[in-house]
Amino acid sequence: MYDSLKFYETAVLIYNTIKNPSEHIYPDLRAQEEMKIFHMARSFEALSKAYLASYGLLIVYPSLLIAAVKKGVYKAPRHLEKELNSLSILARQALNPKKMIEKLKHDPIGRSQLPDLLKSTSNFFQQNNEREFASLYNKISEFLRKPVNQRNYAEIMTLRKEITRVMQLKNVHERFYEILKKCIEGNINEDICKNLTQESKEMLSSFSNKEYLLDQILSILDLGFQEMFDGILYASYLARAAEIADYTVGRTEDDEKYLAEIIDHQQEIFDFLSKMQEINKVLIKDDELDDFMSQIEEEARKYFKHE
């Protein structure tokens, strides 16, 4: 996260010099644009490596939520097992910095288990009759599997529109909340109820007279899922720039066209990255969160070592 922020701050510095021609630090405008792109790409790359395990958890969450509401866990145990096994592999990758550097390199999204996790989650969605979710996850997986020189911006825009349309979980969350309320009231006998702690019941009870607050939280969650996928797509698209944007030697004509395409769209990508880095800055300064994540990581390492 800290490395990502360093690359971002350099990109901001170059961005400001571009706006002020008297302070140019590179030979020409195109060179400055390319160095800005390089640092943006490396910032996305570092952020993706930091969030890799979190991405995995958030990717499987909608399928598990829907399955819980529709009791789909029991309909497709084999597909659920494949999905969770894929998540386990991704977590192992995220917990091994050496392998992450050696194997994931500049394309941590495409080279990681993430595309396979999306595919296995798509299959689980399909078994639960959630065809739109299944189709979306499959399309994102196919995009991430492509070689870096075949990922284009037009496809990203198409996927982002579909993500915005499909990733609407508010109604599912409300149905899930209704089940949890019945658990608290003792009016239903579900496996979900058996797993609720007393602290969870107390927290859920506090929402009973604050439906407006719950509504706001669920709306924010939908936006969060959409932005997560936006970040994944941008990072995978810029993986090629992280490799070629800092050197002119060895570039092909296709490389030049690709960099020109990024320059055409860099402002919207940069604006998105800026928003992500504002969150990143807060997280980096949060010592309590850092301690908490260290504990989670340690427990995860113990678990996978035992496995």
Residue tagged 């932005």 (tokens) = 227
Of 239, 275, 16, which Cα lies nearest the Cα of 143?
239
Residue tagged 């658990």 (tokens) = 183
Query: Which of 143-148's residues contact partners 24+ apart within 8 Å by CB, and which partners?
Result: 143/233, 143/236, 144/109, 144/110, 144/114, 144/115, 144/118, 144/232, 144/236, 145/110, 145/115, 146/110, 148/107, 148/110, 148/236, 148/239, 148/240, 148/243
Measured in degrees and rounded to the nearest 5, phi and psi for residue 26 equal -125, 165
**Cα torsion 235, 93, 86, 170: sign:** negative
| Distance in angstroms (rounded) separating the CA atoms of residues 227 and 164 | 9
Tokens of 265: 């769209």
pLDDT in tens, the chain (307 residues): 889 999 999 999 998 888 776 666 666 888 889 999 999 999 999 999 999 988 999 999 999 888 888 875 667 788 989 999 999 999 889 888 888 888 999 999 999 999 999 999 999 999 989 999 999 999 999 999 999 999 999 999 999 999 999 999 888 888 888 887 777 777 666 667 776 777 666 766 766 666 666 677 677 778 889 999 999 999 999 999 999 988 888 899 999 999 999 999 999 999 999 999 988 887 777 655 555 556 655 655 565 555 5
| Distance in angstroms (rounded) separating the CA atoms of residues 97 and 233 | 22
Angle, CA of 9, 12 and 16, to the nearest 5°: 145
| Distance in angstroms (rounded) separating the CA atoms of residues 49 and 84 | 20
* Residue 102 DSSP class: I
**Cα torsion 42, 43, 44, 47: sign:** positive
